[in-house]
Structure 1
Amino acid sequence: MISLIIAFSSIGSGGTGVTGSTVAREPLPKGSVSETGYYTDEVNWIGNTTTLTSGLKYFYDKTGVQPYVYITDTVNGSHYPTYDELQAYADSLYNQLFTDEAHLLLVFFEYTPSDYMDYYVTGTQAKTVVDSEAGDILLDYIDRNYYNSGLTDEEMFSNSFHDAADRMMEVTKSPWITVFVIFGALAVLIILFAWWAHAKKQKNLEAQHTEQILNTPLQKFSDSEAEDLAKKYDTPQKDEENQ
């Protein structure tokens, strides 16, 4: 039976951020789960079972943890439960529904439209994969998709579990790494361009200086300068005549 049950909750907020994954996780080994169904719908939200379960089955395949969604608008007969009551209800449901420690139970409560609460509960074995960070990832996707009016109820749950599985099973790469790489590459290009431009400028200056010297009449130089220039430019010609 379940030696320890871990429970977490969220309240709908409409936020769009999703927690990043900082841990490399390994799925549970096959055979860990005593397989069950995937959901209970007490409010008649689910019309397309295939759409709903496709994401839940993907989560199971990816993590080795079998998810179960329990949709309700009452907790022990009340439409206005407290968080503590919802958590106690979820803990009790886990023990009623499962005989292993490898399930994840999501209890999704909504009585007033656009106002929901949810709790997820994991057995101790499932907790080795769906830790608190991974659980936050799942709750973040549910919260984001819940407020996406373009999704059906089935798609909201299915997409949330599908995307959460992908994210939690890989370490999220920081976007700043890409930014730093791009800026680093740009900095190298700027340095190379500056060096090339400086070298080209120096070469042009030297060429202009040489041309200026060659076009300057010897009379404008002092005797010593004229003699040096004459030697500089006459020496190769004399060497050729001597050969």
Structure 2
Amino acid sequence: MLCSNRPDDFGPQFTLSSPIPTTCFVDVILVPLPVWIALALLPILILVSLHSRKANYNPSTAHLHLQPLRSCLYTITTTIYYVLIVCNILMQTLEIVRLSLIHFGIGLLPFAYVGLIIGGALHWSNGVQGRIQIWQGINAVIWLGGTTISVVKVVGLVKEGINGRKGSKYPISDQTIDVAVMAGVYAGIGMLEAILGLWRVNRGRSCGSLATASPVQHEALGGK
């Protein structure tokens, strides 16, 4: 069972946590929702990008590629970004394991791994080397969705009773802290995604200036 041994059932509301959805509803319906949306958007964006590339193909600029960003600060920020993704993978694993220890169903919590992996892969590959347009939108759905749903879950757990399940292997107080940490990490990943995205945009503008400059301008801008 997805929510075995939980005091709340699958219904969207529970007396103790009302009007916040039950933890079962959150874990089965809401947690996977951003991932489902991302998976639905991904093939659409791929098809749109393929069509756009064919329509706007220019042989004279097809060989041009953005050079990797070499800034030390950019590298540090990117490293923190990936570390936060790993942190949430570990935190999600902790919640799943501890729920299993008290024989509570884990719902569809493993779907969170899919979202984290998709987001990290899209960022690492820069939307598979720029072939997927506005891939950042998919990541925004994952990070903002993860943050929002985690916050909703925290509120529901608090309303259910922060002192609940005392003496068990996974008190509600511990789960509340775990989920709150995940909410903060999701928010942090989202902010870093925005910062790194702006960095890329500025880099793209600089490279665009070099690509369209005359030979004299190109040399003045630092081109070779």
TM-score bucket (shorter structure): under 0.3
Could you tell me the TM-score, scaled by structure 1's length?
0.23
Counting helix residues as a fraction of each chain, which structure ranks higher? 2
Counting strand residues as a fraction of each chain, which structure ranks higher? 1
Larger radius of gyration: 1
Could you tell me the TM-score, scaled by structure 2's length?
0.24
